[in-house]
Amino acid sequence: MTTRKKSGQDTPDTNAKPRRRGETRQEKKEAAEMPLRSNDVTAEQGHAASALAASVPFNRLKALEHGHDNALAPPAGSAMEPAAAPLTASTCSEINGTVKTGGAAAPGMNAAIAPLDRVRADGGGQRLTTNQGVPVADNQNSLKAGLRGPALLEDFILREKITHFDHERIPERIVHARGSGAHGFFQAYRALGEYTRAAPFAAEGKITPVFVRFSTVAGERGSKDTARDVRGFAVKFYTEEGNWDLVGNNMPVFFIQDAMKFPDLVHAVKPEPHHGMPQAASAHDTFWDFVSLMPESTHMLMWLMSDRAIPRSYRMMQGFGVHTFRLVNADGASVFCKFHWKPLLGTHALVWDEAVKISGADPDYHRRDLWEAIEAGDFPEWELGLQIFTEEQAEGFSFDVLDATKLIPEELVPLVPAGRLVLNRNPDNFFAETEQVAFCAAHVIPGIDFSNDPLLAGRIHSYVDTQISRLGGPNFHEIPVNSPVAAVHNNQRDGMHRQAIHRGRVAYEPNSLGGGCPHQAGTAGFVSFPQPVAEDKVRGKPEKFAEHYAQATLFFNSQSDVEKEHIAAAFRFELSKVTVPAVRERMVASLINVSAELAAEVAAGLGMKLPAALPVAAAAPPTPEVEVSPALSLLALPGECGIRTRRVALLIGDGVHGASIGAVLAALDAGGAVGHLVGGHVGKFVTDTGAEIEADRSLENSPSVLFDALVLPDGARTATALALDPHTTAYLSDAFRHGKPILCLGSSQRLLEMAGIPEPPTGDGRVLVSGGDEVDGILPRFIAALAAHRLAPRGRPPQP
């Protein structure tokens, strides 16, 4: 850099000329033999460019663009070394830098691709400025003509601030608008080179950074977390070979078989257009009208009406890639694959009454739960399992693996454990990261390829298209959270919000003026699997797609009795909201093909006669290979972490027995659970020994639905105060009805009687009663009950 010092700052020297390298004796000889020419720098560069271009007499790859063998093994391009670095530069003056421009681009470098540290900003200890860096003297008042005069148009500080504020919101996602995200990593258990060359599976222990976003599907950005809905589970892998987005859900199947129907599905489930209701709910006419006419949706409806649709936490739900994908190894051999995420904390859910009450007490329940767990160092973890199978195996199944309304039972294709996913860092800024992150089903890397799933084909197009609209143009990949860790070099230019400043005058390929760069990678790059195609061009579905009910039946038969009750109750509730009786009747008629037991229970709950079954589309339905799959029940994954991250409410008041409360808190802390002291008000109370104890929650602001268990304290004064508080009865009643463990210490037994909770029978773990001095003996039983999440029967209201 050629600079002059002035006032202690670097100032560009406008008289600086591009430096030339020292000439060697050979170079001087060659220069003497060259024809005389101008010493104009531009002309000199042109002569050198001609020499570089002359080294490419023709496009040697052109002949290799043709033929099947070349399609399977595309040739790599080659680079020509320019005689001098400035030869391929945009300008010979690139060596003159400032604190803004910096120096010349390093060879082969794209500085826009780097850790997010380069764009993190911290205003600590700094003065307030405009977006142009101008210090703001007064951030409290508009510029006016006099203290009581009119505001002046010249107030550029006010205009900038208000204009930016007016544009701070971007269009929300059409679906998956409400979400929560976190950074983390994926660690491979072992190399999977026999199946795939994909970078995350290249070596045992290999670490790949990720960003994960969880979301609801139907609701708008301001809707509630605990709606009955599908949950998105999208993982962005930042690999050295580019970004891979595994964009899935917490359910392994979907409503439709072909992307042609996706707009219809979303229009049906979204609020009805004439009055904009209901928000974040599927219990309305248009949704059930649509799905009752689309029997292919029946399997997904079983999942949606199950407890899977109201998870206890994002940290306690499975994730699925939904579609059948291909894995391709370094030799070009391919197998089919389905992706499964299994949570280390187990699969746990809310009951419907609990979910409804949580939405009023804390609409941000799930995003708060994820954030607080990561902040506390309780990093959520999932295991990735792969269902790997061949095309020959797939052809033998009674269902079609290209049908997104079908799953592959684990009894047919067991999971191959592939690695673990850990989320260990919350975003610095929700908008910049969680809101602007752009997942696209089209983002795959070498070793991962698509199947011919017709729903997946539409998603490959749709996601990219919607991100262009939502994020303001085709350069959304340059937003820091979306940019890869792999180097990005191509000839795409311009467009709205372009960040990269490209060097040189070449923006095409093949070229010779840029030394042939960037050149194609050949077989080192992404090569689509050459699946043979010899079919007519038609609109239609394979015959196996016509079977719509066998796997819905499989799912229902695989549930526990309580889970079946919840499914029936969910159908009853949702259909009771439908105002058109014919739609209710049509849906119940469809359920007969799933389970006569289920249809009869739903019909009875709707006060209607059981209709005749809907006709089925499959003329001769095949016999399913599996009739019951225990893995489809939430109970199949209880979790491996005991009580870690469970939330427990300990009620307190003046006169509370401090020693027993302390013992419970110590036991919870030892197991990794979080104990919250809940009083009639927040703030300080006095224990039986006169010591201070402080409530961080109140009965009013934190109802029992926000906790996994409840502890009633010992202490006569405390019990009396709680008995007089109108919130206490609902607190205890809800906890008992929702199947949560309740530990009752000493004198608080009167609170159970007041709430109408019967004397617990022997062996019933829902209510544990102990004298205040006997807490140490009963704590192991309470900890075991808490680890079970929800006690026998799971969420079932007590019987009269």
Q: Which residues are catalytic?
A: 176, 249
> How would you class 302 by CB atoms within 10 Å of its CB: exposed for 0-12, middle for 13-18, buried for 19 or more?
buried
Tokens of 469: 């609209």
Closest by CA to 283, choosing from 351, 361, 218, 204, is: 218
What is the distance between the alpha carbons of residues 94 and 45, in angstroms, rounded to a whole number? 14
CA-to-CA separations, 5 to 8, 14, 97, 452, in angstroms, rounded: 6, 13, 14, 65
Can the peptide bond before residue 74 be classed as cis, meaning omega within 30 degrees of 0? no
Question: Residue 167 is which amino acid?
Answer: H
HSE (side-chain half, CA atoms, 13 Å) at 615: 2
Question: Residue 371 is which amino acid?
Answer: W
Q: Where are the alpha helices (DSSP H) in 701-774?
A: 716-724, 726-737, 749-754
Tokens of 277: 């209701």
The position carrying tokens 């994960």 is 212
Instruction: Return the number of other C-beta atoms located less than 10 Å from residue 648's C-beta.
Output: 24
Angle CA 109–114–192, to nearest 5: 95
Instruction: Give helix 352-361 / helix 365-375 axis angle, nearest 10°.
Output: 80
CA end-to-end distance (rounded Å), the chain:
86
Closest by CA to 707, choosing from 684, 739, 685, is: 739
Helix (H) or strand (E) holding 302: helix 298-304
Q: Where are the alpha helices (DSSP H) in 577-645?
A: 581-591, 596-605
Tokens of 513: 């003026």
Closest by CA to 215, choosing from 182, 186, 239, 257, is: 182
Phi, psi dihedral angles at 368 (to 5 degrees): -65, -40
What is the distance between the alpha carbons of residues 374 and 306, in angstroms, rounded to a whole number? 28
Phi, psi dihedral angles at 122 (to 5 degrees): -135, 120
